[in-house]
Amino acid sequence: MQPHFKRRLLKYTTYLRSLIFLGVIILGSVALINYLLPLFRFARQNNITPGFVLNLFFGKEMQMKKYQGRTNVVILGVAGGQHEGADLTDTNIFLSIDFSKPDIVMISLPRDIWLPSIRDKINSAYHYGEAKMIGGGLLTAKAAIEEVIGQPVHYALVLDFSGFVKIIDLIGGIDVFVEKAFTDNYYPIAGKENDFCDGDPTFACRYQQLKFEAGWQIMNGDRALKYVRSRMAEGEEGSDFAREKRQQQVIVAFKNKLIGSSIIRNPTKAKQLFSAINEAVLTDLNWSEKLLMSKFFLTFGEGKMRRIVLDSGDEEKGKKGFLVHPPEWQYNGAWVLAPRTGNFEEIQKYILCQLEEPNCPMQP
């Protein structure tokens, strides 16, 4: 090969290398922009700033909505699926959190509380909101809770029970202390709600028997769901008030298991759990608020949590209670719960006392 031809080829090779290098830079820049731009938009939409990230890992102040130093959250549970009543809220739990102490007040509201504003039970508020507009259920449910408790509700979470089962199974079950043994002979079997049972007038094929012995038990997702949903047990455990106490137990047991579990230190399992929670829970918390809330509960440990159930009292123990069963004819033939004083003022004063004073009496 002639020397001048070699020099010319070398010259073009240099140009070619330069073009390839430039192409790599351009393609890399385009790919980087396509990746970073959505990430930037996501961070801006959810208020994830460099300051937020530093506060998340090193700060103590929770940048969330508050009223008088407390953040109020409602947890709602729905059966899901396509059957009648699938979006009625079987679970209505109000959480008021003081991040600085830390302190949590957990209050269960019975599903049968009558609301004058909607002329129906509180468990139908979410349903009415969703019927008007997709996503409207959160707004109406929050407004319904506010009507009873007299406190602003900043956030709401709606949990589908099928997702609840999956989440409990992913953490390997939960440890629950069953205070009183009970038997429920009429727990509904999923999918058999409309079964005619070959003409059996008692429709026995629609139900199964549940038994829970007293003491500590390890419950998988299905067992835990039955524990919190059982409504037809014999004696006191068949009341909605007992069921609400069991719901609170399971929430605390889930929190304790998650804190003590190695799953949050296993990237693969943690990702599966996060995905399951994200699929099962509908919420108006944005991503930055979800991260802050997750951080708080993962570090809450044995912090103070006061659990309250609004109920109809106990005559034998001399407890008045806040709610009564009024005559059904007053409420279009429906079996409901109403405030014993005629309005929610007594309940609201009691809840305010609980939020402001940790030593406030636990009964009226």
Q: Which pTM was predicted? A: 0.80
Instruction: State what percent of residues in the chain have pLDDT above 90.
Output: 42
Asked whether the predicted pLDDT for residue 42 surpasses 50, the reply is no
In the beta sheet, which residues pair with residue 89?
78
In whole angstroms, give the CA distance from residue 247 to residue 108.
9
Asked whether the predicted pLDDT for residue 33 surpasses 90, the reply is no
Average pLDDT, the chain: 83
Asked whether the predicted pLDDT for residue 28 surpasses 80, the reply is no
In the beta sheet, which residues pair with residue 98?
103
**What is the predicted pLDDT for the residue at 107?**
94
Quick one: average pLDDT of 190-209? 88
What is the residue whose two structure tokens read 């579990």?
A: 261
**DSSP annotation string for 138-207:** HHHHHHHHHHHH-S---EEEEEEHHHHHHHHHHTT-EEEEESS-EEEEEEEPTT-TT--GGG-TT-GGGE
Match domain 71-356 to its CATH number in 3.40.50.1240, 3.40.630.190, 3.20.20.80, 2.60.40.10.
Answer: 3.40.630.190
**What is the predicted pLDDT for the residue at 239?**
87
Map out the domains of the chain as residue ranges: 3-45, 71-356
Quick one: average pLDDT of 233-245? 88
Asked whether the predicted pLDDT for residue 38 surpasses 60, the reply is no
In a 13 Å sphere around the CA of 360, the CA atoms on its Cβ side amount to: 16
